[in-house]
Amino acid sequence: MRESRSNHSGRRSPDARTSAAPVAADPRMLALKTLQELRGGEVTLDELLAKHGYALSSRDRNFLRHLLGSTLRHLGEIDAILAPRYHPPQDRTANRLTNIMRLGVTQLFFMDVSDHGAVDSTVNLARDAGLHKYIKLVNAVLRGLQRDGYELPDGVEDWQLNVPAWLRGVWKKTYGADRAREIARASLGYAKLDISVRDAEERAEWAEKLGGTLLPTGTIRLESGQRIRDLPGYNDGKWWVQDAAAALPALLFSQYDGKTIYDLCAAPGGKTMQLAARGANTIAVDKSEGRLRRVYENLERVDLGAAIVTGDATDLADDAPIADAVLLDAPCSATGTIRRHPDILLRSSDALMKSLLPIQQKLLLQADRVLAVGGELIYCTCSMQPDEGEFQIKSFLADHPNYARKPITADELGGWDEAITTEGELRILPTHMADLGGMDGFYCARLVKQRG
């Protein structure tokens, strides 16, 4: 484990693709490459967008993100639309051709692209991808859909096609059929841009400067699609981007100033900055050097300090400092963040979720090992599955009778009580704050270590 310290304590024209542009800079070709690479589930959409989109203009980069986001949000629906007309070939081109068809249907029905542009650009994509013998098929299928439209199977709603069956089943069992439907629909929408301000007393001022809405919990909410670096205050380090739900756990400790607080699994650093801004001696731990580089850069920009430790938080060093508090944002299936990361619909699975449960348990044990008696442990995940939230804490408390819940109150959330459970935990749903744009799904519990 290595430690370093930061230096500072209408309609869209289809003409985005031009004949003069090289194939590598065509956003539709990059969308195809991205869909191909998402198949394995080892890499995220954001990582691939950073990899493929850097050479694009701002306009084409936005088009690429919108094309991929729309495809992933409607993937089940798209496949149902294609099913009566398209049967994949029995050769190695099948997956690539299917993804080309999917991108065409997305543009035809789920984006503001002209019908003519959607069809012609998809035919050109098939040609550029080397699938010359299937060009007539692509053209025929899309022209037929353009002419006839489509109907979903009888008795099936769009959200039932777009949310995987395993996930629908968990949500129905946990929240009931009606609430599960609402959660699914909200999850398939788009998230707004949320901002945390470094100095809490300046929140109202920055909400006015940025033209945003100040949420009861202290987050400033803006419309999405804005270029973040161009907004006032960014270069001056006055604020950072952080989802409103994810911003809550770091606000729930009793004391900060001069206290040693771990931020386990810290990247990309929003919670680290919150803790440091409140005066805590923060130790940010993450096993990814690349992701910790972002934490360091963010701390530099906002002129805050923290100890940055590269290492696996499931196996902290024997001489790791004992802390006054621990914030554990555990790795999880992230099914509460589909609005921001629609690739989760493609990458996540029940098997993946279950594989993360023992990791979460190990992290809780490590948190216990470095937490002083009388200290607070906040455990959170951005998962909608109780296996990764409520059940983990229930199991931990059963095995650790020296811990007790410290209920979270509405006063700590600016009076907002919609997400507080009878146990005094937070179970935030995508349907919460619906009139203000919704929330990411999130779970949070606060425990106190009463004795050793």
What residues does CATH 3.40.50.150 cover in the chain? 197-449
Which segments of the chain belong to CATH 1.10.940.10? Answer: 14-148
Residue of 332, 380, 382, 444 with catalytic role:
382
Tens of pLDDT, residue by residue over 265-307, are: 999 999 999 999 999 999 999 998 888 999 999 999 999 999 9
41 marked as part of a ligand binding site: no
Establish whether 286 is an annotated binding residue. yes
Does 23 have pLDDT greater than 80? Answer: no
Q: Exposed/middle/buried for 277, CB within 10 Å: 0-12, 13-18, 19+?
A: buried
Instruction: Indicate the pTM of the whole model.
Output: 0.91
236 labelled as ligand-binding?
no
* Burial class of residue 147 in the structure, from the number of CB atoms within 10 Å of its CB (0-12 exposed, 13-18 middle, 19+ buried): exposed
Q: Do the annotations mark residue 237 as ligand-binding?
A: no
The phi and psi torsions of 261 (rounded to 5 degrees) equal -130, 125
Residues 299, 302: Cα–Cα separation, whole Å: 5
Kindly report which listed range (13-17, 85-89, 230-234, 367-371) carries the lowest average pLDDT score.
13-17
Which H or E element spans position 428?
strand 426-428
Tokens 């009778």 correspond to: 401
383 φ, ψ to 5°? -105, 150
| Bond from prior residue into 386 cis (ω within 30 degrees of 0) | no
| pLDDT attached to residue 21 | 39
The CATH number that domain 197-449 falls under is 3.40.50.150
Residue 380, annotated as binding a ligand: no
On whether the CB atoms of residues 382 and 430 are closer than 8 A, the answer is no
- Looking at every residue in the chain, the average pLDDT score rounds to 92
- The confidence score (pLDDT) of residue 290 equals 86
Q: Catalytic residue at 382? A: yes
Whether residue 29 is predicted with pLDDT greater than 50 in this model: the reply is yes
Backbone angles phi, psi at 308, to 5 degrees: -110, 120
Q: Is 376 exposed, middle or buried (0-12, 13-18, 19+ CB in 10 A)?
A: buried
- What was the pLDDT predicted at 40? 65
pLDDT digits (tens, 9 = 90+) for 34-80: 999 997 677 899 999 988 887 888 899 999 999 999 999 999 999 99
| CB-based contact 77:113 (threshold 8 Å) | no
Residue % of the chain over a pLDDT of 90: 86
Check whether domain 14-148 has CATH 1.10.940.10, yes or no: yes
Burial of residue 22 (number of CB atoms within 10 Å: 0-12, 13-18, 19+): exposed
